[in-house]
A and B are shown apart, each in its own frame.
Chain A
Amino acid sequence: MADGESIGIVGETGSGKSTLGKAVLEILPPRTKVSGHIFFHGKELSHLDRERIRHIRGEEIALIFQDPMTRLNPLMTIENHFIETIREHQRVSRQEALARAETALASMRVPKSRIQNYPHEFSGGMRQRIMIALALVLNPSLLVADEPTTSLDVIVEAQILEILEDLKRRYKMSLLLITHNLGIVAEVCDRVAVFYAGKIVEIGSVDDIFNRPVHPYTRLLLQSIIHLSTKELHSIDGVPPDLVSPPSGCRFHPRCPYAQPMCREKIPPLEQFRPDQLAACHFGKDFL
């Protein structure tokens, strides 16, 4: 992921997309078995001590969730949320913290007059904007947004997406947007990674993925979206697999209409098919 880039992580329920987001922030539940490497600005995150991770989390990598109430404390005023967050990371006076909070809230169009209110006194969209303001008040370079608009109505969703795009432009912030909604990815992201059963099956620019998908799963998933110009319904046979014992070989093979015996036996590697497009399919070149 480059500086200022936005990547969308799309997949169905249980595909592992949220787990990926949690891994980046090192907030997976205890005793989770993790392997592999995550580098952030060249430093490997798993090599850092807890104190350093805590510092990066919040200040350099921020997270927003689907439900703002998982981040906002119902017993704390909005003002105190900001002051606590800022002073946890930086040694500034209360006045200085308050001034920054006001600027952050104003940029999210939350009236200054409501800074003493409690989270429950705000509407859903306003709460989500407060959470974004809180995530951004320390100027992180990466924002991980896990289904940030899923519980919102379509107009408020569009308002929040506009805010995210604006932030991206203004602050050159990178965005990892985790969602099941392909429309949102098409509108906001530069690149997309398609998840299926815990693996990336395809990754590339939004233009390539939406207009020239290589992996059969990507193609079928795109066809199954019902949008305003849908003339015919398409669906994918079968159901996503149980990840306790995932299918052998390509994990999509039991549902893939193009599957060959080889797909059951061999795990397909992510291979390059176009300059910026990689897919994990043994027969990817047949779909170019």
Chain B
Amino acid sequence: MEQTPSKSLLEVENLRVYFPVKGPLIERLFQRNKNFVHAVDGVSFALKPGEIFGLVGESGCGKTTTGRAVLRLLDPTSGSIKFEGINITRLKEERLRLLRTRMQIIFQDPHASLNPAMSIGRAIGHPLKIHGLAWREEDVKKEVLVAMREVGLTPEEQLYDMYPSDVSGGQKQRAVIARAMILKPQLIVADEPVAMLDMSIRAKVLGLMLDLKKKYNLTYLFITHDLATAKFLCDRIAIMYLGRIVETGPANEIYTDPKHPYTRALLQAIPIPDPRRRSPKILPKGEVPDAVNPPMGCRFHPRCPAVLPTCGWEGRDFVDYLEERRTDLEKAKVDEINLGPLELWRARGLVVERPCEPERVRAITEYVKSILNEAPTPLAQAVERVKNVENKLVIEFRVPDPLAPKEVERRLVECLLY
């Protein structure tokens, strides 16, 4: 595929991170099956030394969870993570600590990443002490001052004794970068490093990150929701949606010719700062669904403008369609008379059903068939049969086609269109 595994600095394979849903106690006691947030659900990628790899997606897509799991700040549910060829997925804390000097993280919020009671200089030097790399105060200070100059925190002698509250957001983020850099890491996970900064400051911090990368041949895992920044900065990009990577490839190619409909939608949605280039957009409908019960098949299928009948239509999609009809006051009125409240429907996997009074079974079945005719074609064609079983109306959807990442023009795309 892209490279031989031995050459990768970081290799992530089939990573899964599930979080238990924290419901009220009563609910937890009586629930037979525990619910999980499928934050990251089978993600694979590899980072070559010296490359900037972007993990791009909207909030809740699992990009931050992936970044944290990679550094073992979170324990993966399954899958494997290899750093410099060593499998660190289940590595013990003591052994992990030795590796941590080589992998560091920069968080989004510089205000929250610095201890307000610790001076800037001490904060930057802290990792040296934690990892026992320098003990004498003057040795630490000497290294800190070098790091501060390196990230442009000058005049360094003066700033050394200042506290985070005394400096600007941009300076704080530089301090956070200096603190990550002081251990001379190979890999830096940068989680939205400029999202909290004002536009006029962002470029400076990104420029600094690029300079440091060149100087030390750093490898970045750059996590962002901002496609424009990712395009400028990254060599390769993975687009994430609801816990899965939907497209991976060279940044330039993904932007000039996006393959996955979700990538296309994301690119189209970005506002362009040029009033002459206003144009109507084809936007996916609705919002990112809940990661506790992600959609069947392709997770993007309920919103996808290019969806096929085989993409993963299931029972609840029909209920969503009924609900959508209720945004049209005319249709809502007729639907209400013929079908009653939406709560009557029960969706389970590929099936959706509702109880029917025996004398109304035929009328309801006919009505359901008629509104299926008005439904978007892919949804309507995905219905295998509409039948009556013991005073119930049952709609069955066909089994979706299997979905796996496929190689399409130098990149991996997870979509049935290819």
Residue ranges of A at the interface with B (Cβ–Cβ < 8 Å): 12-13, 102-103, 105-106, 109-114, 123-126, 153-159, 161-162, 180-187, 206-207, 210-211, 220-222, 224-228, 230, 233-236, 239-240
Contact = CB atoms under 8 A, between A and B. Distances in A.
A110 B327 contact: yes
Given A154-B270, A233-B232, 9 more contacts: A112-B332, A153-B288, A155-B266, A159-B283, A186-B272, A210-B274, A224-B203, A228-B231, A235-B202
B200 A221 contact: yes
B141 interface: no
Given A206-B275, A207-B275, A228-B231, A103 B283 contact: no
B255 interface: yes
9 contacts: A102-B329, A106-B327, A110-B327, A153-B288, A155-B283, A206-B275, A224-B199, A224-B202, A239-B168
Interface stretch (B38-46, B155-163, B212-220, B221-229): B221-229
Contacts of B266: 154-155
B326 interface: yes
B265 interface: yes
Residue from A12, A162, A233 whose CB has the most chain B CB atoms within 10 Å? A233
B32 interface: no
Contact of B329 (A12, A112, A159, A185): A112
A155 B282 CA distance: 10
A125 B204 CA distance: 32
A226 B197 CA distance: 13
Nearest to B194: A226
Interface in B269-318: 269-276, 278, 281, 283-284, 286-288
Contacts of A153: 58-59, 225, 287-288
B364 interface: no
A157 B283 CA distance: 10
Q: 7 closest pairs, A vs B, by CB?
A: A183-B271, A235-B203, A153-B58, A236-B200, A158-B269, A233-B203, A206-B275
Per DSSP, chain A at the interface is helix
B273 A182 contact: yes
Nearest to B199: A224
A103 to B, nearest CB: 7
B170 interface: yes
B363 interface: no
A243 to B, nearest CB: 14
A155 B327 contact: no
B146 interface: no
A184 B228 CA distance: 14
Contacts of A211: 274-276
Nearest to B280: A162
B250 to A, nearest CB: 15
Given A221-B200, A224-B203, A239-B168, A154 B272 contact: no
B200 A12 contact: yes
A105 B268 CA distance: 27
A160 to B, nearest CB: 10
Given A126-B287, A186-B273, A187-B272, A113 B341 contact: yes
Contacts of A112: 326-327, 329, 332
Given A113-B341, A228-B228, A183 B272 contact: yes
B266 to A, nearest CB: 6
A222 B266 CA distance: 22
Contacts of B357: none
B324 interface: yes
A123 B203 contact: no
Nearest to B342: A113
B329 A221 contact: no
A206 B270 CA distance: 18
Nearest to A157: B269
Contacts of A13: 198
A102 B265 CA distance: 30
A161 B271 contact: yes
Contact of A12 (B198, B275, B324): B198
B198 to A, nearest CB: 4
A127 B334 CA distance: 26
B327 A111 contact: yes
A155 B202 contact: no
Contact of B58 (A109, A110, A154, A240): A154
B271 to A, nearest CB: 3
B275 A210 contact: yes
Interface string B108-124: 00000000000000000
B376 interface: no
B273 A183 contact: yes
B207 interface: yes
A12 B202 CA distance: 12
A111 B323 contact: yes
Contacts of A161: 271
A13 B169 CA distance: 11
Contact of B284 (A155, A180, A234): A155
Contacts of A230: 228, 231-232
Contacts of B58: 153-155
B404 interface: no
Contacts of B199: 12, 180, 182, 221, 224-225
A227 B228 contact: yes
A79 to B, nearest CB: 14
B328 interface: yes
Residue from B201, B227, B276, B327 whose CB has the most chain A CB atoms within 10 Å? B327
A22 B304 CA distance: 39
Contacts of B206: 226, 233
A155 to B, nearest CB: 5
Contacts of A220: 200
